[in-house]
Amino acid sequence: MPYLYKSNHCRLFHSPVTNRTPPSVSHPCELLEEECVASLIQKCPDMRTLRQIHAHFVKSPANSSSFYALSKILAFCALSPSGDLAYARRLFAQIPHPNVFSWNSMIRGSSQLPHPSKEPIFLYKQMLQKGFALPNSFTLAFVLKACSLISAFLEGRQIHCHAFKHGLYSSPFVQTGLLNFYAKCEELVAARLIFDEIPDKNLIAWSAMIGGYARLGLVNAALELFREMQGAGISPDEVTMVSVIQACAKAGALDLGKWVHAFIDRNGIKADLELKTALIDMYAKCGEIDRARKVFDRMEVRDTKAWSSMIVGLAIHGLVKDALELFSRMLESKVRPNHVTFIGVLSACAHSGLVSDGRRFWSIMHELGIEPMMEHYGCMVDLLCRSGLFEEAYSFVNTMPIMPNSVIWRTLLVGCKSNGSLDKAELVAKQLLELEPLSAENYVLVSNLYASSSQWEKVSYMRKKMKDNGVKVVPGCSSIEVDGFLHEFVVGDESHPEIKEIRKVLREITERVRLAGHEPWTSAVLHDVGEEEKEVALCEHSERLAIAFGLLKTKAPVPIRVVKNLRVCSDCHEVTKIISKAYNREIIVRDRVRFHRFVNGVCSCNDFW
């Protein structure tokens, strides 16, 4: 059907380029044979040249029925970094019965866009509906990748069925595709079932499974598999190591992270851009900002993510000056900052109350065409509140072009308290509880606020409201790393083998907390327990369990690391302060925003709340 290509010829070409020989392609083909098109495409540097190849191809009637050459042209447009997916789409639309190769090119091409969509999944559905081409192992691998990018669980599960239906399940590419898909959807049990079924697990399968555990911060599972992998005689590469390092970072497991770093050096694994960025992130998240900086300084090439991870790391450590200096250097080296970089920069400003700097960076961000996201608004609200500009923060939130989320309202609520704007507090609290009526921490925060102004009736009203709404307390969770193993503690969980000794130390801590004049009423609100159980409620708080464990095991004057606090309340910080002083130890507490380094009861963070 030659007319098909000729008649659409004009639509595909915006300029008359048909009679010129491509400058960079000096292939002496008179007639563009199939192989010739293929070899030209191989060397094709850009779309301009491709259009010319395409034009020659279209002009030659001998070629117009060559689906092979056409699929080569299509693949270039859809897949090459110098291709043009829009051009590929137009070309594809003109092919009456695309072959499986062309479908695959379109599916893969459309899943490589910077903003993943359902387009590849729709294409796959179309392919099945039309029924002219049957999916092969490439198809399933590509569409599974697309599903994993957007966590399209239902679609991916269907493809799992298709793999059996079309007899493609035995393909290692389909298997790792499925494994990775389930892992990305956080369905680790399903992922593990597939992993265990793979007879000859290769490097990719091992890495995908380790990566699945790593993303969820299951550091022990990730490391156990990493050890098993080596036992099975498979050598990890830099991609595997990124996941292992990420697992350490997520869990705040510094000693493990250091060991893994040494492993990388010892085994001659090349630390590339990604791995170095992962190392920076790991050291920063584990509280070793100097080591993070060392890795960063030794890098030869740094992209936006590398710069950002260092800037964010410095910011969460409260090293504001260094963070902002680094940002200037980043601009000098012509690496374009993105929204994550600005989260680091703005949060750095917020930590030190640098209002005018914060405002300046806010406008630079706009000048660079970066649309502020919720996190950026959050930083600005925090900055204004900490700088005593509560009224401005309040009107800032009320004029936001996007609906403020609970984090924004909570920031503002804390701002109400510190700025003494209790009149606005009720309004903010109302917004917060309307938006998120099922989260226990909101009730605690609001009732803390009432308690600070001795409005006890409102305190008990909050407790009642929480009960009426059926709010369940999500157990707090902390972890502590001892001798290369991460111990996790969940509130109420007594399964730890050393629970008796832990309890003994906890009682001692409780006594010290009491002697210091603190009442553990935050926990009492949460647990609603009688006087007798109050002590238990306090003790059961995960962070204190972790601290207690650290005191048991850590006899030498080394820092006690309390990390991965999912729920850190101001009460915890108080306790940490007291313990640090009593035991003359350095305690590092990490919350979602920053580090608090307590030495002899004094927090190095100047904005300790």
Partner DNA sequence: ATAGGGTTAG
- Beta carbons of 597 and 588 less than 8 angstroms apart: yes
Nearest to DNA of 172, 601 (CB atom): 172
Task: Return the residues of window 172-201 that contact DNA according to CB under 7 A.
Answer: 172-177, 180, 184
Residues 168 and 177: beta-carbon distance below 8 Å: no
CB of 393 to DNA, least distance (A): 20
Would you say 337 or 353 has its CB closer to DNA?
337
The structure tokens listed for 114 are: 């910077």
Query: Considering beta carbons, is residue 335 or 509 the nearer one to DNA?
Result: 335
Does the footprint of DNA cover residue 136 (CB under 7 A)?
yes
Query: Measured between alpha carbons, how far apart are the two ends of the chain, in Å?
Result: 75
Q: What is the DSSP string of 446-461?
A: HHHHHHHTT-HHHHHH
Distance CA 259, CA 415 (A): 42
Q: Is 303 in the site for DNA (CB under 7 A)?
A: yes
User: Does residue number 436 form part of the binding site for DNA (CB under 7 A)?
Assistant: no
Largest CA distance in the chain: 95
Q: Judged by CB under 7 A, which of 13, 68, 122, 521 binds DNA?
A: 68
Closest among 563, 549, 592, 539 to 477, alpha carbons compared = 563
Binding residues among 263-282 for DNA as defined by CB under 7 A: 272-275, 277-278, 281
Residue 205 touching DNA (CB under 7 A)? yes
Work out whether 108 is an interface residue with DNA (CB under 7 A): yes
Contact with DNA (CB under 7 A) among 141, 393, 505, 539 = 141
CA 156 distance to own-chain centroid: 21
Nearest approach in angstroms of CB 256 to DNA is: 16
Q: What whole-number distance in Å separates Cα of residue 513 and Cα of residue 543?
A: 14
For DNA, how many residues bind (rule: CB under 7 A)? 71
**Is residue 410 within a helix (H) or strand (E), and if so which, with residue range?**
helix 406-418
Q: Which of residues 460-489 bind DNA (CB under 7 A)?
A: none
Min dist CB 591 to DNA, Å, is 12
What distance in Å separates the CA atoms of residue 475 and residue 497, rounded to the nearest whole number?
Answer: 20
Sole binder of DNA in the list 7, 117, 170, 202 (CB under 7 A): 202
Binding piece for DNA, criterion CB under 7 A, among 203-211, 411-419, 546-554, 567-575: 203-211
Which of 343, 381, 416, 539 touches DNA by CB under 7 A?
A: 343
Measured in whole angstroms, the distance separating CA 318 from the mean position of its chain's CA atoms is 21
Collapsed DSSP state (helix, strand, coil) of residue 477: strand
For residue 166, give Cα distances in angstroms to 77, 123, 127, 169, 198.
28, 18, 14, 8, 18
> What are the CB-based long-range contacts (under 8 Å, 24+) for 393-401?
394/421, 394/424, 394/428
Query: Binding string, 223-252, against DNA, x = CB under 7 A?
Result: -------------xxxxx-xx--x--x---
| Residue nearer to DNA on the CB measure, 71 or 580 | 71
> Contacting DNA (CB under 7 A), which of 18, 64, 99, 406?
99
64 is a contact residue toward DNA (CB under 7 A): no
Is residue 579 involved in binding DNA (CB under 7 A)? Answer: no
Tell me the two tokens of residue 499. 């629970």
Q: Tell me the C-alpha distance between 380 and 80, whole Å.
A: 41
Token readout for 14 is: 């915006």
The smaller minimum CB distance to DNA, of residues 18 and 80, is found at: 80
| Of the residues 185, 208, 412, 502, which one makes contact with DNA according to CB under 7 A | 208
Please report, as residue ranges, which positions from 112 to 131 form the binding site for DNA (by CB under 7 A).
Answer: none
Helix or strand holding residue 138 (H, E): helix 137-149
- The residue from 49, 63, 309, 523 that contacts DNA (CB under 7 A) is 309
Q: How far is the CB of 512 from DNA (least distance, A)?
A: 34
